[in-house]
Structure formats: C-alpha cells, structure tokens
Amino acid sequence: MDTKELAARLAKGDRRAVAKAITLVENDGAGSSGLLRAIGPRLGHAFVVGVTGPPGTGKSSLVDRLTESYRKKGLKVGIVAIDPTSPITGGALLGDRVRMVDHTMDEGVYIRSMASRGWAGGLSGAVADVIQLLDAAGMDVVMVETVGIGQSDTDVVRVAHAVMVVLMPGLGDDVQASKAGLMEIGDVYVVNKADLPGADDMVVDLLAMARDFKGRNPSVLKVSAAKREGIDKVVDVLERIRGRFLSSPSEAGDAIRLKGIRGMITELARRRVLVDFEARADSRVEGLAEDVAKHGLTIDEAANSLLGSKGARVRPRKRTV
Amino acid sequence: MDTKELAARLAKGDRRAVAKAITLVENDGAGSSGLLRAIGPRLGHAFVVGVTGPPGTGKSSLVDRLTESYRKKGLKVGIVAIDPTSPITGGALLGDRVRMVDHTMDEGVYIRSMASRGWAGGLSGAVADVIQLLDAAGMDVVMVETVGIGQSDTDVVRVAHAVMVVLMPGLGDDVQASKAGLMEIGDVYVVNKADLPGADDMVVDLLAMARDFKGRNPSVLKVSAAKREGIDKVVDVLERIRGRFLSSPSEAGDAIRLKGIRGMITELARRRVLVDFEARADSRVEGLAEDVAKHGLTIDEAANSLLGSKGARVRPRKRTV
C-alpha cells in the first residue's frame, strides 16, 4: 500500500489502515513524513484530552467510563494509553489494557497503547504523530492517558487541548504539596473514588486554589468511575471546551487550537533535541568523567565541554517523501 | 567574602558558608564557577543516595529515620529535598519540611529544600552543584529526595551513587504496571508501611522480578518508618554500597564513582541544552503554529524548521572566574 492509498483509507476510518499508519510513524519508516504531509489538510477536527494525575487514582477506569458516555452521544473516540516500557521486551507492558476490552468490538473506538521510554517515561516520540493519524481517521475526541509517574505527565499537557487531572482523597503529603503545581495545568479536576473520606474537603480545597489563579477557571468535579457516578458531568465540561475548540475561527477556538499545534511542534522538536544530545553525550561522557576523576577537570567544565563538542547542532530528521 | 574564603569556610563545614554557597550556585551568581573549581580537588567523599518512588509512600519520613540511624554512627548527612515549585512565588512549596525539624539543631545534618521546575519538576538545574558543595562541606552521605511525581524522579537516578525506591502495599494498577520499569533503576527497594496488608506479597513479587534482572542484585526490604522498624537494615545495605564506593581506587569503587560523575555531567549539560532549546523555541513556535493552522505546513515540517533555526548550536555557560 503506498502513502496515498494509506492516507485515503485512513480518511475513511479503516481500522487496519490506522494500525498500519501508526506502526509506520512509530518506526519512523519510509513514507512516514509523506503520510503526515498527505493527511495535513484533513487535520484539526479531533479534540485532544490529556489525562494525568498520580498513580492509583483510577485514570484508566475513568477513561473507560468517559468513552461510554461519549459513545452514547455518537462521538468517535481514540484512546492513546502511554505505558511504561518493559525493560525486557522494550515493548509496552500492558498492551491494550484489559479493562478496555469492552470497547474493542466497537467500531467507534480506537485504542492504542504506546510504550514510553523506560520508567522515566516521557511520551513516546510518536505521540504527536499518532494524534494526527487518529485525527485524520475521523476521531472526534482523542484521550491521551499517562501512567501517572514521570515525564509523560508533563508532556501530555503540552499536546492536549484540554487537560484533565485525576485525583483521589487520601493521597498523602507529597500530592498535597504538589497541588499548587497541579493547579497550573488542569482545565478539569476530577476527584475520583468520591465515596472515600475526605473527598468533599479535597473539592473545597481545589476550588479555593482555583480561585487563586486569576485568568483561569478550571472545573472541579467529584466522580466515582467504579460506580459510574458523575461521569456525564465530566463529559459535559469537556464538551463545553470542545465546543469552543470547534467554534474556530473564533478567538477562543483559535487559542485552544494553536495551543495544541504549538505543543505538538515543540514536543516533536524537543524530543529530537534530546535524542540527538543523548547520542552525542553517550560517546563522550565516559572520557570526561575520567578527566574529572583523575585530572582535576570540574563537573561544570566537563558539562561545558560536552556542549561545545562538534556536532552540537541538531539536525532535522531526514525527509522520506 | 570572596570565592577563596568561601571555599575555605565551606571546607570547615561552616553552615552559613554552605547556605551562602548554595544560594550562589542556585542563582548562577558571579563566582559560582570559580567556587566549583576551588572545591574540585576536595570532592569525592560524599556518597549520594537518590530517594524516589510514587507519592504517598512516605519517602520523607523514611529519610528522617535513615538520618537518625546514620547520625548514631557519627556520619554527617546532607538532605536535598526537591519540592514542586509554587506557581505563585516561584519558590519551593514546603520550605524545609516540617517533619525534619527534629534534625535542624543537629550540626551534623544539613537540610536544603530546592524548588523543581513546575509540577513537571525535574531536578533544579543546580542539584548537581549543590551535591558538590555538600560534599566539599564534609557530608558523608547526601540523600536527594524527590516528590515522586514527574521528571525529578528520573533525574535523581542519574546523579546518585545508589538509588532507593520507596514503595508501599496497595499502590494500584498503575504502579504494578511500572514495577518492571522500576526494577531497572533501584539498588535498594523499600516496602514501607509494612503493616498494611499485601506487604509480604509485594516483597515476594519484587524479589522474583529482581531475579529476572541478570547482573543486578538489588535488595528488597520491608520497613515501617512510622514505627521505626527495619530502618537500620536499610542503612546496613546502603553502608555496604558506600563501603564499595569508598574502596576506590578499586574496580567496584571506581564504577560507582564514575557513574555519579557521568550522571552529574550529563544532567548539567542536558539541562543547559533544554533551557537553550526552550528559549529559542518560545520565540519562533508561535509563527510556525500559525503556518500550520493557516498555510498547510505540517507539524513534522514545523518541528524541523524549529530545529534548523539559527542559533541551534548550544553555547556553554559563560565562565565567571
């Protein structure tokens, strides 16, 4: 199948074409740039929701419930689940998560697990590309769900049109301490497992903090994904933001749309910078560490030497048209 | 106080000099490179323990207990607590954490909170420098404690001589899924809150996974920081690794030592690369996003354009001798 045919099938929402296209961009295979160029004019329909928050708060169950609710409205949903990479196989650990099996027979739902890099995570380099493919395949909403530990949680904030932060009562001091930081990133705060003690206090707390952030007006909602309570309200809030997004051209719509585009550009470029840096650093840091250990070079000087090395200019990815 | 005098006072373990020196490198102030050069020859004594793991597992309490145990042995302990940055003040949220107040009157303990960058975190750029200052001030052990969310957890793995991963029973599916990834990074696994149900199962699980990692032999220990149970055993294990570290020159000692140096060089350089990239990206991404939204540029092309821009070469930090 050539790039044009693949793009055409993708545009019809052909599931096998979607799978094939994702594999192509994940491997950065021949034709991947061409495919992304071919679908370019079709993009801008899918509304991207980043789902993040600490581990154990029930993000996956919530994404499942939201998907049910979106499907009832007749919307097509793409789910990108970022999994920690297995250090043994190098592949995603959970595969297509067991909990999501309810949706796998539904033609209106496309689920893809992607491996993050190591425990550290970070979105797989291809997430921004996969979002574009799901957009081209006609998804109305794409939810990108992180595992809640590591860099992927940050990165998803960049590429999303709306960010949903999932919390639960009783998360302990560490999360309490992070809450102010969390207030910077979310458009919707969901307190899941709302039947646990402390849920109401948490909502009150979050609302108070939200008020301190001038110019932002995030929603705070209490849900129980397990009991299917409060789910439709979350979708209502997200749908309001999607409504603004779809209203483009308009000031509010353009702002959301451009934020997502800026995030995807930056995310792709930043990842290439880091991959490039790490490839260069790996080969030279050994010798510099020896110089520090034995010959009185300071760590500060060694870091500068690493930066000043030849090839410091990052080269764009090669085109394969 | 000039750089030489500051370095001399630092070498005597003068607490006010430590505070002053840390502030200097945090602000990258005039003389900071000179100070780091002046202390260079004295470095290599402090053993750096990275403390990481999901939020709510009780890392801070455990660090407190370990400090007590180290102090009983007469060792000097530095603690660097990475706090999420307050979005309002830009400073660390917790300050010197309340829980640690027991140690503040103890001359053998130095505690410093450092702000990470945003919720995303990442070690403050100066952590590698602060470790060097605490080393120069005669600390035997420096524990760097992360908040358990975000990039700081990865970064601390790089700069530490030994990595302690703190877990607890009942962390939920997300952490279960991350466990294989976690096995890559830890030298010591501590199951805290060991009186909770599931602690023994978690230890058995971790031991089984540890066996699958050929060439590594991490310890798995059950503790209760709250009840002060099992703490000395953790210190014993860390002391064994510190013993190897101190045995340098020796194969095992040099390996640990060089790993830390490599990590600090890479961490400093990587952070400068990212800061530089983000400064450049910020000014150009707006226009590129407009080109994507309105003029048919693809996101892939825009990312390449961002990388190919003038000034892509990263410049070393200016010397201030």
Residues A106-124: tens digit of each pLDDT: 778 998 877 665 444 445 5
Position B321 confidence tier, pLDDT thresholds 50, 70, 90: very low
List CB contacts (< 8 A) between B38 and chain A. none
Task: Please check whether residue A314 touches B, CB under 8 A.
Answer: yes
> CA-CA distance, A162 to A143, in Å (whole number)?
10
Say if the Cβ atoms of A258 and B290 lie within 8 Å: yes
Least confident of A126-130, A308-312, B169-173, B205-209: A308-312
pLDDT tens column, A152-170: 566 777 889 999 999 888 7
pLDDT tens column, A210-231: 777 656 788 999 999 999 999 9
* pTM (2 d.p.): 0.76
List CB contacts (< 8 A) between A174 and chain B. 55-56, 59-60, 147-149
Query: Which is nearest to A188 in space by CA: A226, A150, A143?
Result: A143
Enter the tokens of residue B97: 């954490």
pLDDT, residue A307, reads 86
B261 closest CB neighbour out of A177, A261, A293? A293
Most confident of A248-257, B35-44, B61-70: B61-70
Say if the Cβ atoms of B293 and A128 lie within 8 Å: no
Q: Are B72 and A166 in contact (CB under 8 A)?
A: no
pLDDT value at A29 more than 60: yes
For B148-256, list the strands marked E by DSSP. 162-167, 188-191, 219-222
> CA-CA distance, A304 to A306, in Å (whole number)?
5
Task: Please check whether residue A298 touches B, CB under 8 A.
Answer: yes
Higher pLDDT, A276 or B62: B62
DSSP class of B191? E
pLDDT, residue B158, reads 83
pLDDT value at B234 more than 70: yes
| Average pLDDT of the segment spanning B116-133 | 67
Position A234 confidence tier, pLDDT thresholds 50, 70, 90: very high
Mean pLDDT over the full length of chain A: 81
Please tell me whether residue A93 adopts helix, strand or coil conformation. Answer: coil
pLDDT tens column, B147-159: 665 555 667 778 8
Whether the complex's predicted ipTM is more than 0.90 is answered with no
A148 closest CB neighbour out of B129, B174, B183? B174
Position B95 confidence tier, pLDDT thresholds 50, 70, 90: very low
B-chain residue closest to A32, CA distance: B300
Q: Which domains are seen in chain B, by residue range?
A: 1-42 (no CATH), 44-246 (3.40.50.300), 254-321 (no CATH)
pLDDT, residue B76, reads 95
> CA-CA distance, B191 to A139, in Å (whole number)?
43
pLDDT, residue B238, reads 98
Q: What percent of chain A has pLDDT over 70?
A: 77
The per-residue DSSP string of A51-99 comes to: EE-STTS-HHHHHHHHHHHHHHTT--EEEEEEEPBPTTTSSBSSSS-GG
> CA-CA distance, A229 to B179, in Å (whole number)?
31
Enter the tokens of residue B225: 């920081």
Q: Are A279 and A180 in contact (CB under 8 A)?
A: no
Say if the Cβ atoms of A265 and B288 lie within 8 Å: yes
End-to-end CA distance of chain B: 15
pLDDT, residue A11, reads 93
Say if the Cβ atoms of B180 and A293 lie within 8 Å: no
Please tell me whether residue B50 adopts helix, strand or coil conformation. Answer: strand
Query: Which is nearest to A183 in space by CA: A199, A207, A149, A161?
Result: A207
| Average pLDDT of the segment spanning A178-203 | 83
List CB contacts (< 8 A) between A60 and chain B. 173-174
Most confident of A78-87, A213-222, B207-216, B297-306: B297-306
DSSP class of B40? G
| Average pLDDT of the segment spanning A47-60 | 86
Higher pLDDT, B47 or A210: B47
Least confident of A168-182, A295-309, B1-15, B271-285: A168-182
| Average pLDDT of the segment spanning B219-235 | 95
